[in-house]
Structure 1
Amino acid sequence: MYNTEGVDAIATITELRSETSELIEHVRKTQNGVLIQKNNDPYAVLIDWETYKKIKEKLGIDELRELA
């Protein structure tokens, strides 16, 4: 995992597998997401539960799938 401008942190799928607890602790402490990459492409974002709830509330949606 490393820091980069505009994104708090980036991790690969492999790092997610081997450092799950550390990545979860990072997002809980910083309340910033971690971009997960697969084959150097953005794949997912790991965020803490409180941030997730705030996003849903701010957007006024029950399911994030509605945005897809």
Structure 2
Amino acid sequence: MYSTRGIEAIATVTELRSRTSALIDQAAGLETGIMIQKNNEPVAVLVGYSKYMELYELEKKTRAKAKKK
């Protein structure tokens, strides 16, 4: 078994293929995104753009701090 680490929703690759637009709309409104499973294993997380940018900026700051050490 794997940890969902706070993921609010789970979808399969098949669901992603058939409900892409609806899942994108749903992900945009979630704080943690939607875990995508393939063969019952987690393979990706679909997050809204604003959440992605938040994570991107956090990663940039973390890398900058690590370089200073």
TM-score of the alignment, normalized to the shorter chain, above 0.5: yes
Task: Quote the RMSD (CA, aligned, Å).
Answer: 1.9
Q: Larger deviation: 48-57 or 23-32?
A: 23-32
Change beyond 3 A, Cα 1:5–1:50: closer
What SS class does the counterpart of residue 55 from structure 2 fall into? helix
Q: Distance in 1 between matches of 2:30 and 2:7?
A: 12
User: Structure 1-normalised TM-score?
Assistant: 0.75
Gaps in structure 1 of 5+ consecutive residues: 62-68
Count, aligned residues: 58
**Identity rate, percent:** 47
Gaps in structure 2 of 5+ consecutive residues: 62-69
Q: Distance in 2 between matches of 1:41 and 1:51?
A: 23
Q: Distance in 2 between matches of 1:5 and 1:60?
A: 22
Q: Distance in 1 between matches of 2:56 and 2:22?
A: 25
Higher relative contact order (CA 8 A, sep 6+): 2
The structure with the larger Rg is 2
User: Larger strand proportion, structure 1 or 2?
Assistant: 1
Q: Distance in 2 between matches of 1:52 and 1:6?
A: 16
What SS class does the counterpart of residue 32 from structure 1 fall into? coil
Q: What amino acid sits opposite 1:47 in the alignment?
A: V
Q: Larger deviation: 5-14 or 15-24?
A: 5-14
